[in-house]
Amino acid sequence: MRSHLPLPASAASQAALILALALLTAPVAQADTALPTPLSLESALSLASAAHPERALARSALARAQAETRRAHAADGARLDARLDARYINPPPASPYPEHNDSSAALVLNQPLYDFGRSRARDRAAEAGLEAARHAQKETLARQRLEIMRRFFDVLLADQRFAEANEAMAVAYVDFDRARDRNKLGQISDIELLAREDAYQAARSRRYADEAAQRTSRALLAAAMGRPDTLPEQLIPPHLAGIDRQPPDYEALLARALRDNPALAALRARLARAQSRLAERQAEGNPRLGLELRATRYARDFGTRDPFSAGLVLEVPLYSGGRVDADSDLARAEVSRARAEASRYEYRLRQAILETWQRLLTLKARAEALAVQTDYRDLYLDRSRALYDLQLKTDLGDAMVQQSATRSRLMANRFERALAWETLATLTGDTHLEPIGQPEHKP
């Protein structure tokens, strides 16, 4: 019979603590990775992971800019060094100091006083780089928000298309099944039967393709949220009250975008950084003025050595071998590049604002036409259903499929308008243009 030795009190308590922590942390870890079901658009936006690669890169760039700013400011600070000089000498025979040890130990304090614009330009360059990183991070968050919305809408449209394809397949199968019965009775030819079967197989193939698109769209949504291992299941159609507003004036949108667009602001800050770096490179040929304090202890102590000293040090560059000119030319080229990039993006921003604004107007007009078409399809289905009940029509399949297709187009139009509004919000930096959380439209 096997004997069980009791654990020591300390070991038993540690094992119990480890087991309790495991039981407590397992559900918490699961809760952190699971997405709510059903998932709303607001939840998808709020649960977006900060571990997304784009956001991680933006944070890394911001951390680098902060470190460069601290380094630039620290370059103007005092520096304290300990200097040890171990020396062995052979003094002359007649020297009153016959010791061979001529070592010394010193504390040296250097404090830059003035460098004729060099440090000021360096500080401005670092601060401009930090501002650019902050604007870039803001633009990254806005782009992720827009991408999540687009992928969320794609999932809803994929579900709608699958339902529509499933309905079309059922209708095609019923038509094909009836055709088989009629073919057995000799009422239709084999060619007509194969045509019905071909239509059914095409509808069936589309149904499987749309079913695959459901999973693909969910994977893309999970990736946009930065949670690729957690696929959302059921989604809640969003309430997009903000899409029915009257679009703002184009000139007002353009003026706001040129002032507050985060990507353009980042490029302008990078231009300011390049200009400050050019000023710093040009100032490399300027003198430097500094204060030096020294306290020294000597192994051979004689009267001509000073244990304490203080002095002003002026360094005047006389010849750099063309290094200053070359660095200045390189910095000048960076200024030209940064200015061109900012100008190019401004051109694209103007065009994007115009195209998005015009698209919003077009989609609004299209929505009005789809609303009428939806009413027509609803009435057409009601009439077809009445004729079917009166046995004046053999099936309702075509009317039902057309009604589903119209509702899909109406849904796609709503989502496209929401994305257009969100794009305007991203381009202008104006959160009031976002289509989520806006008040109901009042005509």
Does residue 305 belong to any structural domain of this protein?
no
For 16, list phi and psi in degrees, rounded to 5.
-65, -40
Does residue 352 belong to any structural domain of this protein?
yes
Does residue 275 belong to any structural domain of this protein?
yes
Q: Which residues contact residue 43 at a Cβ distance below 8 angstroms, ignoring those fewer than 6 apart?
A: 35, 36
Does residue 170 belong to any structural domain of this protein?
no
Does residue 148 belong to any structural domain of this protein?
yes
79-85 and 288-298 beta bridge pairing? unpaired
Give me the CATH number covering residue 66: 1.20.1600.10
Does residue 43 belong to any structural domain of this protein?
no
| Number of independent structural domains in the chain | 1
Does residue 295 belong to any structural domain of this protein?
yes
Range of the domain at 248: 49-83+114-159+240-300+318-433
CA distance 292 to 112: 9
Per-residue pLDDT of the chain (443 residues; tens, 9 = 90+): 334 334 334 444 443 333 333 333 333 333 346 788 899 999 999 999 888 999 999 999 999 999 999 999 988 888 899 999 998 888 878 777 778 888 889 999 999 998 888 899 999 999 999 999 999 999 999 999 999 999 999 999 999 999 888 888 888 898 899 899 989 998 889 999 999 999 999 999 999 999 999 999 999 999 999 999 889 999 999 988 889 888 899 999 999 999 999 999 999 999 999 999 999 999 888 899 999 999 988 887 776 778 899 999 888 888 888 888 899 999 999 999 999 999 999 999 999 999 999 999 999 888 888 776 666 556 655 666 565 554 544 455 565 666 677 788 888 999 999 999 999 999 999 999 999 865 444 33
CA distance 376 to 365: 17
Does residue 389 belong to any structural domain of this protein?
yes
For 429, list phi and psi in degrees, rounded to 5.
70, 20
> Taking a C-beta distance cutoff of 8 angstroms, is the pair 382, 336 a contact?
no
